[in-house]
Structure 1
Amino acid sequence: MAKAAETSWTVAHILKHLEQSGSEENRAGMARFGIDMTRAFGVPMSVLRPFARTIHKSNDLALDLWASEIHEARLLAILITPPKEMTDELARSWLDDTHSWDLCDQLTNVLARRTDSGKLVSELTSDTREFVRRAGFALIAWRAVHAKSSPDSEFLGYLDLVRKMSTDDRNFVWKAVHWALRQIGKRSIELHGPALALGEDLAASSDKTARKVGRETVKELSSDKVLARLGTK
């Protein structure tokens, strides 16, 4: 029988547990991956995910954990927030505080599981802040995975956004742009062709960043693994 989720965790207990679970070695490793370690204990996701499952889902607890400003506590706040509680207002508020790609990606992973989260894409991708714009394209990528009932037309509509922002050379933006384009192309055989065509177009661009986005996309969408999965090989 599965163990029941712990209901007695407090913010103080959680922070103490996180501090004891971190290490300088992990801090150094996370920093090498570009994670903001300003207020972090060095606890990997492989530890945080199972820990989150021992904590009861609670919007109030999540808000308190986020307010602590500790990196791993904020990741836990995201993990214990049910998708229906990840409202537009909460997502905007937390993104205002986000300065690390892993927080951005975990937050949009939860947000993408809401069926109506696609309406935020245009707003987030048009924002000039690096991690908010990244969030918009991460949301596209996650929706390509999670939004099973959404029509392909939704994702075709995102291709113009990809093209428009493919010249944003900020590291955490262009990587999210090509992530979104690759996930669109892997979603279905109907989307594969248009996404690959855009990738090829960008690969021939005069802009250095757009060329990187295009080359990364073409490389993956032309791979035997993707073609076999989509049934084209």
Structure 2
Amino acid sequence: MNRAEEIVARLRSLGDEKNREGMARYGINTARACGVPVRVIRGLAMQVHRDHALAQDLWKTGLHEARILATVIADPARTADPLLEAWAADIDSWDLCDQFCQNLVWRTRYAWTKAEEWTDRPEEFVRRAAFVTQAVLARKEHDALPAQFLSFLPLIRRAAGDERRIVRKAVAWALKNVGQRSDDLRQAALALADELAASADKHAASVGKEAKRKIVKGK
């Protein structure tokens, strides 16, 4: 049994059917999940430490929790474009998408490129990943210039009418985080939120209203 197989066996032993059922109630795809909470996966990652080769082996197992662990222990500096593309294409659940972006994508040298490129992708979770990455960059990339975030606004406007709720929630999240970054960005984001909220497109309007409410509340 290799190390990836050992970790998968451990994850399965830590699985909990009630937690798995709870995941399903939140819209998480549990077809390949065993019900291990993310906090437990993060605790395991602290024991495993950064291991890029192991991360790739874990991803290949297909186990949901193993893939989340892979996003935590993968080395952003060694993560190449083909790996990001392959993993993004494999994603089959919104929570794995978000973990992928928050743990790995935004830390790589491709983050800004993917935050734009993936907005044109037809796959539900790849397009969601674009906007989750935008949201994470707006919250965590402290040295970025305002103009870099203003460049997200046309992408947000274009995607706000997506018929898929999973995508729209990420679009609203990105707009909210841009708006909460600084006073100048707040005004630009609120202007877009107002524009979308007044749209005849019900999907775009829902994004605008949600983003505006959260920008104003600061949550």
Q: Shorter-chain TM-score: which interval?
A: over 0.9
CA contact (8 A) 1:74 1:103 kept: yes
Give distance in 2, aligned partners of 1:86 and 1:135: 16
Give distance in 2, aligned partners of 1:64 and 1:171: 32
Aligned residues: 217
Give distance in 2, aligned partners of 1:167 and 1:116: 26
Give distance in 1, aligned partners of 2:109 and 2:175: 20
Could you say which structure has the larger radius of gyration? 1
Tell whether 2:40 aligns with 1:47: yes
Which amino acid is 2:142 matched to?
A: K
**Unaligned stretches of 5+ residues in structure 2:** none
Name the counterpart of 1:80: 73
How far off its partner does 1:130 sit? 0.4
1:190-205 equivalent positions in 2, closer than 5 A: 190-205=184-199
Give distance in 2, aligned partners of 1:153 and 1:105: 24
CA contact (8 A) 2:106 2:133 kept: yes
CA contact (8 A) 1:167 1:209 kept: yes
How far off its partner does 1:88 sit? 2.0
Secondary structure at the counterpart of residue 37 of structure 1: coil
Q: CA RMSD in A?
A: 1.3
- Pairing partner for 2:83 from 87, 90, 95: 90
Tell whether 2:169 aligns with 1:175: yes
CA contact (8 A) 2:81 2:110 kept: no
**Unaligned stretches of 5+ residues in structure 1:** 1-8, 227-233
Q: Render the CA deviation track for 1:20-56: whole Å, top value 9, x for unaligned.
A: 1111101100011111111111001011111111003
TM-score when normalising by structure 2: 0.95
* Identity of matched residues, %: 41
Secondary structure at the counterpart of residue 53 of structure 1: helix
Give distance in 1, aligned partners of 2:91 and 2:83: 12
Tell whether 2:210 aligns with 1:210: no
TM-score when normalising by structure 1: 0.90
- Pairing partner for 1:30 from 20, 23, 26: 23
Give distance in 2, aligned partners of 1:116 and 1:16: 33
Tell whether 2:179 aligns with 1:185: yes
Secondary structure at the counterpart of residue 35 of structure 1: coil
Which amino acid is 1:184 matched to?
A: V
Name the counterpart of 1:144: 138
Question: 4+ residue runs of structure 1 moved beyond 6 angstroms?
Answer: none
Give distance in 2, aligned partners of 1:84 and 1:158: 24
Give distance in 2, aligned partners of 1:69 and 1:141: 27
Which amino acid is 2:118 matched to?
A: L
Higher helix residue share = 2
CA contact (8 A) 1:99 1:131 kept: yes
Deviates more, 1:43-52 or 1:113-122: 113-122
